[in-house]
Structure 1
């Protein structure tokens, strides 16, 4: 099955209901699509003028909702870093997979009462999605700041000895501390120059403490040595060391600073983990919960999400909310377009088609056009002509067909 759906409608009179039956027969015999009725409530119509305005507004809202849920799906991928294979089980609508939700769609009367004027229903959806987008921006900005800070710290702890932080390398014991006269420096020496360093460091300047050097860390290129000398010869020692290609790093052991840096690293790591982590315990519990008895207690249900960080939990809930809102917007678009196209009193039948695979869509379009061409002979004729490739003619989802048509694509991560 493809991940796309065609949401269409035709007038609900006898002739057109027979045309829908014909379409169902042909598409199922030729294995072109799986079709289901799509229930849309009877809304308050209002004036035709207001419907024309709503049609435009709903088109924009449809695009906004789709881009919002795509952004959220992408955020789930980023936040789940180490568990990318399990992204789809977090992209659900009302606890079911997206295809099931769309094919079994029922209008949510509690959230969007159909007795209210259409303008009010649309306004409710608009405000809801705008609020989710605002929250998404705030939360992802905070998460990205955290991630950026952590990456900077990780970069600092994974560079070479010249640039990386020394907080996780040095020990208090390697340094002379609290001395008015003496100071311990750290020097980077290339591996081929180790023996030269050992022979010459004491004589690079006056007042170097004999036998005070010690190798405390190494990377692929060289080593980090300590050396103790009198404070007053620091500058002279640096110059002489540089001449011999020994590099003195600007580093003085400060216990408070090192403690702060280590704590910062630990804090950031745990904050980042808390933002998205799905702990193994919760994963096992939730698996048990899913395959366990149908009568799950509230406590068990609650524990399913307990290992997730707040950002992932928020994304799951609000992805579901946004997706549900999006399909309600599609239903509203079908209603508004059907009234504008087929007139009053309101009488039309909406059907959801799921093409079996991409390859069958051209044939499916031909079947629909032949069954419904009587609804708009001009549109049908121009569509048949357009199947011939005309240079410069850009056909898109806004194509006009003899019947009302909207496209739903569930491949949100492409």
Structure 2
């Protein structure tokens, strides 16, 4: 699915020059530069940060995939593209004005605990959406099957609104009635052949019951002993015996109820899914960006050292991603030196962590994020 907007998220050591360069020189000054506020977290030890870096990388990808999956679900269920909102704001407004939800995620808690709380909530909600979607798919399949019985052609549809008791031989020890849906182009073959298809077919018993654009439905009377032989011969002629149909008032009433029940259940599960998916999109995307905020903070410390002195910005691109690759290249050309010098300059003790820092990143902290 095409993104509605894309961002580069870049964290750099604090410098007036870097901020000015982003605003004036990156992509010729054409890309909006939006501050991305980072709070201070309880970081613990550097060893714990390295462990959390790996966990955050996986969780970031997982929640991003969850958001995309929910958008796919919403698009498949609704005919129009649903409005994307997060906690009451248009999604891009939420991202560009992001601030940490301190009332929900207290900043005096260790990073590991924050990650656990955010992840558990988001993953539980993602599982709920997947289960709800599976329930809807089942309900939809049941409704489609019931609808085919009600509104399909005469070779497959339910015949409870078509046939009448007087069209059948009922309560006979020897005779029975067979229903045959005959394609329009084979009617002549049927009329000339059905009486000789097997022994003891009642002559001239073929009676038209109904017709549609593709088939004509006939009843044929014959002796029960030869019913299966007649059905086999009919199939060889490419007619369609309706062996699924047995005239019974109880069965007919159940078929009527089946259609109504499956239609009501499909509608209910669809509405339940839409409500849950819209809520999940909001909550999981919010959780995703809280995880991103922690991840940026952790990676920035691992790259630039302590105390934490770095600025984070969003570089915004439209949905065509135009100039994103060019801008990424410009950033690496300008700040690539940080990959070789940041560890020495900020904190010699970080040397041992250099090879463990998230390999998805460039020589400095850089994300590419598509919002769908």
TM over 0.5: yes
Unaligned runs of 5+ in 2: 343-357
Distance 1:45 1:207 in 2: 88
State the Cα distance separating 1:134 from its structure 2 match.
2.2
Deviations 1:94-117 (A, max 9, x none): 122222111111111111111111
Query: In structure 2, how many angstroms separate the alpha carbons of the residues matched to 1:240 and 1:364?
Result: 75
* Change over 3 Å in CA distance of 1:54–1:195 after alignment to 2: closer
The 3 A distance-change label for structure 1 pair 206 and 337 is closer
Structure 1 Cα separation of the partners of residues 91 and 154 of structure 2: 51
8 A Cα contact 2:43 2:111, kept in partner: yes
Which position in structure 1 is the counterpart of 2:11? 9
1:2 & 1:252 partners in 2: Cα distance? 55
Determine the structure 1 residue equivalent to 2:38. 40
- Name the structure 2 match of 1:192: 188
CA contact (8 A) 2:42 2:110 kept: yes
Contact 2:198–2:229 (8 Å) recurs in 1: no
- On the 8 A contact 1:9/1:350 being kept in 2, the answer is yes
Which 4+ runs in 1 deviate beyond 6 A?
none
Mapped to 2, the partners of 1:110 and 1:234 lie a distance apart of: 77
Alpha-carbon separation, structure 1, partners of 2:241 and 2:36: 74
Give 1:351's aligned residue: 313
Aligned-residue offset at 1:162:
4.3
Normalising to structure 2: TM-score of the pair? 0.81
Q: Which residue of 1 aligns with 2:63?
A: 65
- Partner residue, 2:347: none
SS in structure 2 at match of 1:67: helix
Q: 1:207 to 1:312 in 2, by over 3 A?
A: closer
Q: For residues 196 and 103 of structure 1, do their structure 2 counterparts lie closer, same or farther at Cα, with a shift above 3 Å needed? A: same
Verify the 8 A CA contact 1:185 1:252 in the aligned structure 2.
Answer: no
Q: How many angstroms apart in 2 are the aligned matches of 1:23 and 1:75?
A: 37
1:180-234 alpha-carbon deviations (Å, 9 max, x no partner): 665433234432246547xx859976594x87653112245542122445xxx22
Aligned counterparts of 1:213 and 1:202: Cα–Cα separation in 2: 12
SS in 2 for 1:33: coil
Structure 1: which 5+ residue stretches go unaligned? 277-308, 380-395
The residue correspondences of 1:144-155 to structure 2 (distance < 5 A) are: 144-155=137-148
How much does 1:127 deviate? 0.7
Corresponding residue for residue 350 of structure 2: none
Instruction: Please name the residue that 1:255 is paired with.
Output: 249
After TM superposition, give the deviation of residue 77 of structure 1 in Å: 1.4
Please state if 1:275 is matched with 2:277.
no
Tell me which residue corresponds to 2:355. none
Change (3 A) 1:399 1:377: same
Corresponding residue of 1:297: none
Call closer, same or farther: CA 1:2–1:27 in 2, change over 3 Å: farther
Q: 238-247 or 127-136, which moves further after superposition?
A: 238-247
Cα distance per residue 1:283-339 (max 9 Å; x no partner): xxxxxxxxxxxxxxxxxxxxxxxxxx1110011001110011111111111110111
TM-score, normalised on structure 1?
Answer: 0.73
Query: Which of 235, 260, 275 pairs up with 1:313?
Result: 275
Match of 2:17 in 1: 18
The offset of 1:167, in angstroms, is 3.3
Match of residue 393 from structure 1: none
How far apart are the structure 1 equivalents of 2:229 and 2:23? 88
Structure 2 counterpart of 1:280: none
Tell me the residue number matched to 1:100: 93
Does 2:36 correspond to 1:27?
no
More off after superposition, 3-12 vs 91-100? 91-100
- Alpha-carbon RMSD across the aligned residues, in angstroms, is 3.3
Residue of structure 2 in register with 1:234 after alignment:
224
Query: By how many angstroms is 1:235 displaced?
Result: 2.5
1:169 Cα offset (Å):
3.2
